[in-house]
Amino acid sequence: MHISARSDYAVRACVVLAAAGAGPTRGETVADDQHIPAKFLEAILSSLRQAGLVVSRRGAEGGYWLARPATEITVADIIRAVDGPLAEVRGGPPEAATYDGVAADLQVVWMAVRASIRAVLEHVTVDDIAHGRLSEAVRTLAADPDVWLTR
């Protein structure tokens, strides 16, 4: 899975908004806190707003805040909002990929990859990240020394 800068920045922005609470947080504050280019962040926040994940208000008392409780916004929701589906094969859904002959089981592999990605990203919320409450399952996966090796 490729995690784009856009997705990484979007998740980080939502985590900052979750940690800030219900009030508006200025985009510049988020950008400075996470070292995200301000113009790029504005475009990302616009996508998140269009997806109904954040709301905004203009003006001196303006800024951004989460549209729903942080416990209800998953990392998967954010990635889908800014980059589209979590798992694609040649630009389409894995269930649409078909193979002949000895490669026939490859579709099953792609479906398993999608299931694995969903098993993490659909269950981790921005609240979990903002408050250091990742599940034991996620921490166990990340604790495997092999996942830290680049291959």
Residue matched to tokens 């899975």: 1
Give pLDDT, residue 29.
95
Report pLDDT digits (tens) over 34-84: 999 999 999 999 999 999 999 999 988 889 999 999 999 999 999 999 999
Give Cβ neighbours of residue 33 (< 8 Å, ≥ 6 apart).
16
Residues 70 and 125 sit within 8 Å (Cβ to Cβ): yes
Residues 62 and 26 sit within 8 Å (Cβ to Cβ): yes
- Quick check: helix, strand or coil at residue 32? helix
Q: Tell if the pTM clears 0.85, that is, is over it.
A: yes
Joined tokens for residue 105: 């089981």
Nearest to 85 by CA among 106, 64, 114, 60: 114
